[in-house]
Structure 1
């Protein structure tokens, strides 16, 4: 469930957004409504929302400033920016500062807003930050250290070492056999152990991790897509583009356009 704050200085907009989202109570929860940027900032720090839907121009603190201040404390919070045509350049600035999406108020539709929020929720689960796996592994390893034999604990430590190696060498032409050799296990045994501990096949994990790094480069740099392909371990840019579309649901070009149309 996404926890959401609505922030807009226009009462009709606040009421309309609340009306559109309240029927989605099984998947969305409105945890606060603000009428200015300062109030939005204070509410966010208190409620720690997953998403803030915020107007770009508000009294006391504008939307971009509020977003920047909130992200300093809550970097995982996503932002959907509301803007008018006159503020379009500000909207692009907001995207470059980390906003997930912007919507023109004159074109605001409940279906579009719901679709954006659904995509945010999907991204949070499907393309979650893999650093969380380390915490899971650490907790599991500590538990198994007291509950099982030393071999069971060592297996988890080997997989943690494998993940470290993948994260450091994902841009190279690494294979399951390469990583298995780094932790002194046979490829067959390592493959079974990797799936058992992480819940994913080695090849799928590597693809997802590479594509996550590609998304960061697509949305935060102006590197050419061909160069990004090389940097995340794919020497064939066409193959990279097909993989990105398959796993991320969008082409690299559209990903970049959606996030500010930075130069290719």
Structure 2
């Protein structure tokens, strides 16, 4: 277990439990319930290469603590949070991803706000992976992954990373299949980081000014928490004080997707969560996500996942 996770588990008084574990049984799941709130943190260690963390907490009062980092590359996605975490590049918010190199012995301060659940998934790449394994297994010598990550703006949203996280979150297998699957996903995640770092370095993508990036990030935060609404590009563009054509251009430059593809992905990701973590009927899920009827929802769901919602639910609870 890495120092940062160990610090959080000790601070919350979390205890290791296998009883009623909500995730793949190959994770070590820690749960807590105290005057702070309640929740779980599930950890998976892949040799000396990487660690995976899936956590969901809710707090009854603002929760503050600090943690000392260790040398690593961190890729995190905040599906839900209200936080004043003081990253060097700014605070975090629901729907965003955080990608950065964390040098050792740095202190990060957290203030996680009460009432809004903190739902986070992250991968921490360790030096043995990006300094030794990549060079040995793939002959990658001319890439400095730690340096290349600096091109990613704060509040970036990369759909391919979200898709990988969704697969990691939902996978449930034996010890061997889990190890093989997670290893392949971490390699895939690294490939995406290298590819996207090259794209973000292109002159046309570096022209997007910081204020426009922040505006799109703010809008994605709102969209992510109002998936039942049917948004019009003209309304969102007006909210961003942009023309429709500029909004479409900036949105794709920041997120890597058109708005229609982005909202479709977010709705399907939420549907996957509801199918595996609730007893809602498919028709109820369709209604909650703004679909006209269960039929149109099922068609789009199958196009995205390859299976019908009812089949996904069965597969997801095995």
Q: TM-score, normalization: structure 2?
A: 0.41
Larger Rg: 1
Q: TM-score, normalization: structure 1?
A: 0.49
Bigger strand fraction? 2
Bigger helix fraction? 1
